C-alpha cells in the first residue's frame, strides 16, 4: 500500500545536480586551484600549475602555518569538552523537576541566537583590561588579584575564547541533549529504581546508552564547527595577540585578502582533507554503533 506513496528514485536527480553544482564542484575546483599560482594577478599573468609548491610553502614557511593547524585541533577538542560535558549535566538537571526550568532553558539558549559580531563587540568591551566589566567587577568584590589581560595575555587568551564559545554554544548543545533525554521512556528509570539503582547507576546504565544518538549528533556538529572555526576568533582576537590564536581559516582569510588565492585554497584543502577524514571516521563509528 505504501509503495504508491514512495517517490520515484529519479526525484533525487535535481537535488543531486544542485548539490554537485554548488558544493561538490566548487570544492573540487578549490582543490584544483590549490595546485596553481592563482592570485590577484592571474588575469594578467595567466594561471600556472605549480604542483605541490603551495603545500610545501605551508609546511616550510617561517610564517608558521603549522601553529594555525595545531590551534585548530586544539580548539576543536577543548571547545567540545567544555561545551558537551556541562551541557549534558545541565540538560539532565533541567529534565528533572527543577523549578522554573523553562526559564533556565530559555536563558541558556538565548546566547546561541546572537550573531558573532555582536558577541565580539560585547565581550571585547567586557574583557577590556582597564574599563571592562569583568575586571571592574572583580575589583569591586575584592578579587582584584584575579584581574587579567583577557584578550592580550598569551596565557589567558585561549581560556577567554573557550569561555565565550561555551557561553554561546552550551544552550544549543543542551537543547539537543534535552530532546534525547525526553525520548528515553520513563519505565526504564522506574525499572532501574526497583532494582536499587542510584542516580549514577541510572546515568551510567540507562541515560548514557540511550543518549548515544544525541551525543553523536552533538559530537559531529561540534567537531565540524571546531575544525572550521573562524567567526569567534575573528571577532575576539583576529588571530592575536600577535599570531597566538591563528587557526587555519584566519590564515586562509588573510592569504585571500592579500590576493594569494592559490595558497589560500591550499590551506582550505588541508582543512577539507582533515574534516573529511574525521567525518568518515565518525560516520563509520556511528554506523557500527547503530548496527550493534
Partner 1 sequence: MNKKTVSALLVTAMTASLVAGCGSSNAATDTAATSAAPAAAATSEAPAATTEAAAEATSEAAAATTETSTDGNIVISEVENNGQFEGQELSILVSAGWMDNRYDATISRFEDTYGCTVDLQTIPADQYSDILQSDLANGTCPDIFWIQSNPFAIDSVIVDPENYCIDFTGADWQNVMPEARQASCMSGDKLYGLQIWHNSPEYVMVYNKTMFDEMGLEVPTTYDEFLSVCDKISAEGITPWFVPGADGWQHQLSFFQIGGVYEENQPGLYDALNNNTATFADNEKMIEVLNEYKELSDKGYLGEDWIGTDSTNMSNEFGDRTCAMAMANSSYIKQIQEDTGTTDEFGMFLIPLGDNDTYPTNPAGPTMFGYKGTEHEDLVKAFFEFVCTPDSLQEILDNSPSYTNLDVNVDIQQNWLPEEEEFMATVDKTKMATSVLQTGTKYTNDYWMDFGADMVSFCQGTMEANDVLKNMDTNRAEDAKTAGDTAWK
Rounded distance, CA 277 to CA 138, Å?
Answer: 44
Confirm or reject binding of residue 68 to partner 1 (CB under 8 A).
Answer: no
Closer residue to partner 1 in complex, CB, 84/235 = 235
Q: Rounded to the nearest whole angstrom, what is the least distance from the CB of residue 43 to partner 1 in the complex?
A: 6
Render the burial of 221-242: b for 16+ CB within 10 Å, e for the rest.
Answer: ebbebbbbbebbbbbbbebeee
CB of 152 to partner 1, least distance (A): 3
Least separation in angstroms between CB 61 and partner 1: 7
Q: Does 136 bind partner 1 (CB under 8 A)?
A: no
Closer of 125 and 198 to partner 1 (Cβ): 125
Residue 57 or 203 having the CB closest to partner 1: 57
* Cα angle, residue 216 at apex, residues 210 and 220 outer, rounded to 5°: 170
Is there binding between residue 149 and partner 1 (CB under 8 A)?
yes
* Residue among 139 and 193 whose Cβ is closer to partner 1: 139
Q: Which residues, including other chains, have CB under 8 Å from residue 236's CB and lie 6 or more apart?
A: 120, 123, 124, 151, 160, 161, 164
* Alpha-carbon gap, residue 105 to 107, rounded angstroms: 6
Binders in 199-258 for partner 1, by CB under 8 A: 238-244, 254, 257-258
Tell me the C-alpha distance between 233 and 231, whole Å.
5
8 A C-beta contact, residue 92 and residue 99: no
Q: Applying CB under 8 A, which residues contact partner 1?
A: 37, 39-41, 43-45, 61-63, 124, 127-131, 149-154, 238-244, 254, 257-260
Amino acid at each position: 500500500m505504501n509503495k504508491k506513496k514512495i517517490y520515484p528514485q529519479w526525484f533525487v536527480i535535481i537535488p543531486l545536480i544542485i548539490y554537485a553544482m554548488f558544493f561538490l564542484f566548487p570544492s573540487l575546483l578549490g582543490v584544483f586551484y590549490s595546485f596553481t599560482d592563482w592570485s590577484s594577478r592571474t588575469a594578467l599573468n595567466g594561471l600556472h600549475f605549480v604542483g605541490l609548491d603551495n603545500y610545501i610553502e605551508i609546511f616550510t614557511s617561517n610564517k608558521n602555518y603549522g601553529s594555525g593547524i595545531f590551534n585548530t585541533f586544539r580548539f576543536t577538542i577543548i571547545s567540545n569538552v567544555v561545551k558537551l560535558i556541562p551541557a549534558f549535566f545541565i540538560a539532565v538537571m533541567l529534565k528533572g523537576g527543577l523549578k522554573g526550568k523553562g526559564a533556565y532553558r530559555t536563558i541558556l539558549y538565548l546566547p546561541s541566537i546572537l550573531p558573532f559580531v555582536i558577541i565580539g563587540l560585547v565581550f571585547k568591551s567586557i574583557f577590556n583590561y582597564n574599563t571592562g566589566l569583568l575586571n571592574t567587577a572583580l575589583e569591586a568584590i575584592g578579587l582584584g588579584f584575579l584581574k587579567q589581560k583577557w584578550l592580550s595575555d598569551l596565557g589567558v587568551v585561549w581560556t577567554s575564547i573557550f569561555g565565550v564559545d561555551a557561553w554561546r554554544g552550551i544552550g544549543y548543545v543542551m537543547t539537543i541533549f534535552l530532546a534525547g533525554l525526553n525520548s528515553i521512556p520513563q519505565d526504564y528509570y522506574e525499572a532501574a529504581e526497583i532494582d536499587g539503582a542510584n542516580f549514577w547507576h541510572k546515568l551510567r546504565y540507562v541515560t548514557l546508552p540511550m543518549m548515544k544518538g544525541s551525543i553523536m549528533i552533538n559530537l559531529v556538529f561540534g567537531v565540524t564547527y571546531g575544525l572550521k572555526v573562524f567567526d569567534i576568533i575573528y571577532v575576539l582576537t583576529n588571530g592575536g595577540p600577535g599570531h597566538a590564536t591563528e587557526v587555519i581559516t584566519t590564515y586562509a582569510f588573510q592569504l585571500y585578502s592579500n590576493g594569494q588565492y592559490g595558497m589560500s585554497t591550499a590551506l582550505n584543502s588541508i582543512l577539507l582533507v582533515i574534516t573529511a577524514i574525521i567525518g568518515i571516521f565518525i560516520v563509520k563509528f556511528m554506523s557500527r554503533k547503530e548496527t550493534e
